Chain A
Amino acid sequence: MRWRAILAALAGVLCIAGSASDPAERLPDPAQEARARAIFEDVRCLVCQNESIDDSEAELAGDLRRIVREQVREGRSDAEIKRFLTDRYGEFVLLTPAFNAGNLALWGGPFLAAALGIFLLLRRLRNRSDGEALSEELSPEEAARVERLSESDSA
C-alpha cells in the first residue's frame, strides 16, 4: 500500500502534462481516435488517485495514452491492447475488473444479495398460507396497542 501512496504524492508534482483531449496527442483518423478514447476510460492512471488516463493530466497517463494510440493506429484490437497493458502492469491497470474466479464474489455478490432477498420474501409470502387468514385491517388488539404506544408519555 505504501508504494501507491508515494506514487500518488509524486503524481501531484507530475500533474503538468496535457489531457486526453489535447489536440497535440490526437490521432488523425476520428474513428481510431474515438476507439482510443473509449479504451482510455477503462485504463487506470497508475500514479493518480483513482483516475482513468482519460481524465488524468499526469505524465504517466500521457505515456499510456501514447502507447494505446500507437497500438490503435497499428490496428490492434481492444482485447490485444488491454492484454498488452495487463501483461505489463497487472490487472490493476484496468478499471473493469476481469470476469475470473478471483473476482467471483465481486461480480456475483450484488445479484446473490438480490436473490437472497427475493428468496426470503417468497418464503415469508408462503408462510402466510400456513398461518392466519388475511384480515383487511389491524386487529382491534393491534390497533389498541399502536395507539397506546404512540400516545404513552411515560413508561
Chain B
Amino acid sequence: MIAEFGAFALILALAFAIAQLALSAVGRARRSTVLAAAGEGAALASFIGVALAFACLVYAFVTSDFSVANVAQNSHTEKPLLYRVAGAWGSHEGSMLLWCLALTGYGAAAVAFGRSLPRGLKASMVAIQGGLGTVFLAYTVFASNPLSRVAMPPVEGRSLNPLLQDPALAVHPPFLYAGYVGMSVVFSLAVAALIEGRVDAAWARWVRPWALAAWSLLTVGITLGSFWAYYELGWGGWWFWDPVENASFMPWLVATALLHSAIVTEKRGALAGWTLFLSLAAFSFSMLGAFLVRSGVLTSVHAFAVDPKRGVLLLIILGLTTGAGFSLFAWRAPKLAQGGLFAPVSRESALVLNNILLAAATTTVLLGTLYPLIREAMTGEAISVGPPYFNLTFTPLMATLAILLPAGPLLAWKRGDAQGVAQRLWIAALIALGVALLAYAIVSPRKAFGAAGIGMGSWLIAGAIAELVERTRLFRISAGESLRRLVGLPRGAWGMTLAHLGLGVFVLGACFETGWKAESAETLRVGQSLDVGAYHLRLDSVADVDGPNYDAERAVIHATKDGKPVCTGEPERRFYPAGGQTTSEVAICYRGPSHLYMVLGERRDAAGAPVWLVRAYWNPWATLIFLGPVIMGLGGLISLSDRRLRLGVARRRKEQPA
C-alpha cells in the first residue's frame, strides 16, 4: 500500500510540475496574478508530492519491503538502520528521486523567499523551474521509478555495496545533490532574466544567495566524498582526478566563478552577460555531472549506480535544457548593456582575472574528463587522462590564482592603487616567504615544490588576515576601536575572509601531505613491527569479529615514537557474504593535524604462523585538507546570513529610513 501511495504521489507531483510550468507561463504572458499565484501553488504541491514519495521510499527501505524492486536490489535485513535509510538514495532510481526532491524543494523555496522579485521575473522563474521539474519527474516516473513492485518478492535483499555502508557516504549524496540542484534556481533566474530582457545589479543580488547556498552545500558535499574516499578506499589518497570527482568539481568551479562575477554585476553593473553565462553553465555542469555519474560512460572508482541505457535519456534531458538555455543566451545576450568601465588595476580586473583562471581550470577538468570519449569517438583510439595531466595543467592555473588572490579584496573598485596594495601586503608576503624558506630548511627530506606550496598556503592565510587588518584599521587606530569595527563587519565580509582563509588552510594541508607523506608495508606475524615516518608500529593481535552483516578480522596495532606509546589502531578487513565483497576499514590515529593511517591487508599462511600484510601511511597535516573546505563552506553560509543578501529585505528596510 505504502509503495503504491508513494508512486501515486510521485505521479501527482509530475502533474503539478506540468501545471506549474503551464500556469506560470500563461500567467506571465497574460500578466495575470491569479494564474501566476496558481503556478506558485502548484510548485509547492509538486514539492509536497515528491516529499511524500520520498518518505514512502525511505519507509520501504526501513521496513525492508522486498516487494519493492529497488529495496530488494539495494537493501538487506541485517543492514544497520542508518544504511537502510541511506539505501533510499544509494541506487540510480533513489538518487534521481532525491534529485527531484531537491529540485522541487528549491522551487518551493524560490516561491517562498522570492516575494520581493518583480512579478514578471518571478512568474518566468517559477515556469522554468516547473519545466525542469517536469523533465526530471517524467524521467523518474517513466524510466526510473524507485517504487515499482516485483511480482515475486525475494525473502532477502541483495544489499548495498559495502563500500557505501559508511556514515560519511550515507550523508554525502544529500549535500551533493542539494548543491548540484541549488544551481537550478540560478539557472531558472538566468533564463527568466533573458526572457524578461533585463539583467542588472538587482538581478545579480537575487542570484547571489542561491548561488551561495548551492556552492556552500556543494563544498561540504565534495569534502565529505573526498574524506570518504580517503578512509574507505584505503590508499591514503584523497583526490584521484576521477571522472566522478571531476563531475562534482566542475559545477563547483563554475559556481565559484559565478559568485565572484555576480559581485561585479551587483556592485558595478558590469559583466552581466558573463554572469548570465555562468548561471546557465553552473546547472548545466551539474546535469552533466549527474549524466556522467549515472550513465557509466566513464569508468570510475566511484561508479556504483550505473545504467547505460537510461544514460541516453539523461543525455537528451541535458541536451534539451542546456541547449534551450544557451540558445536563448546567444539570442538575447548581445543586447545586454556592457555596464560600468574600469581600469586595468581595479577590483573588477582582479575579479575578471579570477574568472578567467577558474574558467580555464574548468576547461582543464572538462577536457581531462571528456577527452578520452571524444578521442575514441573520433579516431577510435583509446587514451587515458590521469592525475599527471591535471598536475601539469590545473595546478599551475590554480597556483597563479592563489598568488593573485590576496590582492583582489584590497583593490578599490574602478581604479585600484597597486602601490597601496603592495604596502598592505608586504608583511603577508614576508611571512609567506619566511614560512616557505623555513619549510625548505627544516623539513626533511628537502623538497622545493612542497616548500613553495607551504609558502603559498601561508600567503593565502596571511593575505586573508591582512585584509581583515585593513578593514578594522588595526595598528592605525586604537585596539578598542578596531575591535568594535571587527564586531561590526558585515557577515558578507566575514564570509569572504573565511572562504579565502579556508582555501589557504586547504593548500597548506594538501601541499604538506602530498610533499611529505610516507608509506610503508610489510607482511607481519603477530608481535612483529614496521616503521613509518618517525613511528614504530607493532602488530599485537588479530582477532575474528562478527559484524551485523559482515565477518571481519580486526588487528590491534600499537604505535610508538621514540619508545613512548602513542596510540592504538584497530584496522579491520571485512568480508560481506551478501555481496561476496571484501573491504578494509582503516584505522587513523590523529596526531595533531597529522594522521597515522593503518590498513590491515590480506592474511597469508606462511610456514608456521599466519602473516598479515600491514600497510601504514604517515599523512602530515592531512586534517587541514578537509578542514579548509569546511571553513570555506562555513564562510559561504555566514555570508548567506548577511542581512543585505536576504531576499525580501528591501521591503523591511523601507520602514526605517536611514
Contact = CB atoms under 8 A, between A and B. Distances in A.
Interface of A: 1, 4-5, 8, 12, 15-16, 18-19, 21-24, 41-42, 44, 48-52, 55, 90-98, 102-103, 105-107, 109-111, 113-114, 117-118, 121, 124-125, 127-128, 131-132, 134-136, 138, 142, 145-146, 149-155
A14 to B, nearest CB: 12
B381 A150 contact: no
B300 A110 contact: no
B360 A114 contact: yes
Given A102-B375, A110-B361, A150-B202, A92 B384 contact: yes
Contacts, number: 187
Contact of A91 (B120, B383, B654): B383
Contact of B385 (A19, A97, A118, A132): A97
A128 B371 CA distance: 38
A19 B367 contact: no
Contact of A113 (B349, B363, B382, B651): B363
A50 B243 contact: yes
B344 interface: yes
A153 B371 CA distance: 47
Given A145-B201, A146-B200, 9 more contacts: A1-B376, A19-B613, A21-B519, A42-B386, A52-B387, A95-B385, A95-B387, A102-B383, A117-B352
Nearest to B368: A106
Contacts of A23: 521-523, 613
Interface in B119-135: 119-121
Contact of B359 (A106, A117, A151, A152): A117
Contacts of A131: 341
Given A55-B235, A128-B343, A134-B415, A114 B356 contact: yes
Contact of A42 (B118, B356, B388): B388
B397 interface: yes
Contact of B397 (A90, A110, A136, A154): A110
B269 interface: yes
Contact of B301 (A24, A50, A113, A128): A50
A102 B381 CA distance: 10
B165 to A, nearest CB: 17
Contacts of A52: 386-387
B359 A44 contact: no
Contacts of B340: 138, 142
Q: Across chains A and B, which 8 residue pairs bring their CB atoms closest together, nearest first? A: A95-B386, A117-B356, A149-B202, A21-B521, A114-B360, A155-B118, A96-B388, A92-B382
B201 A149 contact: yes
Contact of A44 (B200, B361, B376, B386): B386
Nearest to A92: B382
A18 B599 CA distance: 13
Nearest to A149: B202
B355 interface: yes
A106 B344 contact: no
A106 B385 contact: yes
A120 to B, nearest CB: 8
Contacts of A41: 387-388
Contacts of B385: 95, 97, 106
Nearest to B356: A117
Contacts of A95: 384-389
Contacts of B523: 22-24
Contact of B200 (A49, A96, A98, A145): A145
Contacts of A93: 384
A121 B353 contact: yes
Given A50-B300, A117-B359, A105 B381 contact: no
A146 B269 contact: yes
B584 to A, nearest CB: 10
A109 B384 contact: no
Interface string B356-375: 11011101100110010001
Contacts of B349: 121, 125
Contacts of A151: 650-651, 653-654
Contact of B342 (A5, A19, A128, A146): A128
Contact of A8 (B299, B343, B379, B601): B299
Interface string B292-320: 00001111110100001000000000000
Contacts of A21: 519-521, 615
Interface string B86-112: 000000000000000000000000000
Contact of B386 (A90, A96, A142, A153): A96
Interface string B251-294: 00000000000000000110000000000000000000000000
A49 B300 contact: yes
B63 interface: no
A135 B413 CA distance: 11
A11 B120 CA distance: 55
Contact of B297 (A1, A16, A102, A136): A1
